[in-house]
Homo-oligomer: A and B are copies of this chain.
Amino acid sequence: MLNVGFVGLGAMGWSMAGHLHRAGLLVAVANRSHDKAQRFAAEHAGVLALADAGELAGPCDVVISCVTADADVLGLAAVLAAKAKPGFVLVDTSTIASTSARKAAELLRAVGADFLDAPLSGGVEGARNGKLSVMVGGDAQTLERVRAALDTFAARITRMGEVGAGQNTKAVNQVLVAGIAQAVCEGLALGEALGLSADNLLPTLGAGAAANWFLDKRGATMLRSEFVPGFKLGLLHKDLKIVRELALAAGVNHDLIDLSLANYAALMAEGRADEDTSALIRLKRGR
C-alpha cells in the first residue's frame, strides 16, 4: 500500500486529494496557505496537515503536486530531494515547461529518488468525478509503482515518453483547448446576435460535427454571461506562454496561440484573470 502526500489544494487538487483519501492512500497534505491544508485535514479523518512540504518526504513514498508555476515545482523538488529516501517519487501534475520538468527530475534522481511529469486534462469536472486524462513523462517502472495513486482520479493514464513528454503532450492539449474556446465563443456570439435561442442552439450544435467538451460544459453558462471558473483564463494565458515557446522552437505555425494570448491579455488588463476561459465571448461579441 502506497503512502501518498499531496501538495496544492486548489480547485483541482482539493478534489484529487479527496479521491486519494477515499482510496485509503492519503497520509498528509501541504499547501502554500497552510490554513487550507488544516481545513482539508479537519474534513478528512487521519490526514496530517504539514506546514513544510519538504516534511512529506518522511511519511510518504510518493508526493503528488498540483501547483501553478515552474518555480513552485522546482522549489518543491528541491526541499523534497533534501529529505527523500531512495525510491521516493514526486509526481507533478502542474502545467509547466518540459525543461523545468527535466530540472526537477535531475534534483530528485541525484538522491536516488525519481520524478514524473503528469499534467492533467478534464477540468474541475474531471477532478471532481475522478475522470482526468493523465499525460505521463518519465520512467515506465516508476509509473507502475505509483499507478494505483493516479488511478484514484484518472479516467486514462498514458505514458507519453521520458520526463518532459507529459508536458509536451499538455502543450498540444492546451492548443486544442484554447482554439476550441476561440471557436465556440466566436460561434455562440454570432448565434446570440442572430437571435437563436440557447435552448435550441446548444443541443443542435452538440449533435453534429461541432460537438466538443467545451460547448457541452461551458456553452450554457457563457450564454448567461456566467464566468465562474472552471479554468481561470489567467492560468490558460500562463500555459499558452509556455506553449508559444515550444511552437517557436519547433518551427510550427502558432496563429491560434498568438490570437488567444492577445485576447486573454486584453481580458486580464480589464481585471478578469480569475474569470473562466469562456469569458472570451466578451471579446467575440464585439463592441
Which A residues contact B (CB, under 8 angstroms)? 120-123, 126, 132-133, 135, 155-156, 158-161, 165, 168-169, 171-173, 175-180, 182-184, 186-191, 193-197, 200-201, 203-205, 207-215, 217, 231, 243, 246-247, 250-257, 259, 283-286
Query: In the complex, which residues of chain B have a beta carbon less than 8 angstroms from the beta carbon of A158?
Result: 200, 203-204
In the complex, are the beta carbons of A184 and B190 less than 8 A apart? no
Copies of this chain, complex-wide, total 2
> How far apart sit A204 and B159, CA to CA, in the bound complex (Å)?
9
In the complex, are the beta carbons of B207 and A187 less than 8 A apart? no
In the complex, are the beta carbons of B178 and A122 less than 8 A apart? no
> How far apart sit A204 and B135, CA to CA, in the bound complex (Å)?
7
5 contacts between A and B (CB under 8 A): A175-B183, A178-B183, A182-B183, A182-B256, A193-B251
Residue among A155, A191, A212 having the largest count of chain B Cβ atoms under 10 Å = A212
In the complex, are the beta carbons of B121 and A196 less than 8 A apart? no
> How far apart sit A284 and B127, CA to CA, in the bound complex (Å)?
32
In the complex, are the beta carbons of B156 and A172 less than 8 A apart? no
In the complex, are the beta carbons of B172 and A201 less than 8 A apart? yes
From known contacts A161-B196, A179-B180, infer whether A173 and B208 are also in contact, taking CB-CB under 8 Å: yes
> How far apart sit A89 and B88, CA to CA, in the bound complex (Å)?
72
In the complex, are the beta carbons of A204 and B160 less than 8 A apart? yes
The one of B191, B208, B213 that contacts A132, using a Cβ cutoff of 8 Å: B208
Q: Say how far A62's CB is from chain B's closest CB, in angstroms.
A: 22
Query: In the complex, which residues of chain B have a beta carbon less than 8 angstroms from the beta carbon of A188?
Result: 172
In the complex, are the beta carbons of A133 and B204 less than 8 A apart? yes
